[in-house]
Structure 1
Amino acid sequence: MDAPRRRRRSAVKPTATPTGDRPRPWSELRRLGLFAGPLLALLAYRLLPETYLDAAGAPAALTSGARATLAVMVWMATWWLTEAIDIAATALLPILLFPLLGVAKIDEATAPYASSVIFLFFGG
């Protein structure tokens, strides 16, 4: 007599695969974000004014380093929101871009990544 076959149970429900040649929406969003990040950063850098009014109403200069930092922030936010690249890899952009854009030297750009708190998150 044959033993009944046991059915494996899983908490994960099978997902339907896309039909036809339709692209998956997440891959399209990631591809869009991959190119939109640098473009939006360049646009933000160009559109930010060189002077602004401070809290007292006096004009103050917005340095090119500050504008570049804000542009890198826009780039990173775009990649985080669209998940174009892994979040951990996106977080490394300042190490590459800050020295190239003249915002900070390489040792200044990498110092926040060597914090003992960061290593606590890595190690648990």
Structure 2
Amino acid sequence: MASVMLKNVRVPANSANLEEARSRTFDFFKMVCRSIPKIMDIYNLDDVVTVSQLRSIIASEFRKNSHVTNTKVIDMLLFKGMEEFRNVVEHSKQRHHIIGQYVLAREHLVQDAGAKDQGMSEFLKNFYSSNYF
């Protein structure tokens, strides 16, 4: 099952221009979106998140780097994304890793930490707030 999804996953050569890097990014995004139902079956995520919610979470992860225009940086991000995808598909992660990393909103983590910050020094509050992202 994992080998079927991974047969097209290769480390890309360096992109010649921004348009080629953009095309590779869209192709990778489409491949990830097509594999979401299988991933949900592998990790039994049906009770936690829907396919459309997981797709929008993944799309937001891609949008975080939409400002990048350097082709070498885009290629590096694609490589890291493909490695992460490979780890997910090959079941190198456990269910709670997927839920914590992709399903839970990062805002909830920051809000929960704000409740715990009462009684802490200003230095620790600044330290913890800078390391949540």
Q: TM-score, normalised by structure 2?
A: 0.29
**Larger RCO (alpha carbons 8 Å, 6+ apart):** 2
Which structure has the bigger radius of gyration? 1
More helix by share: 2
TM-score when normalising by structure 1: 0.30
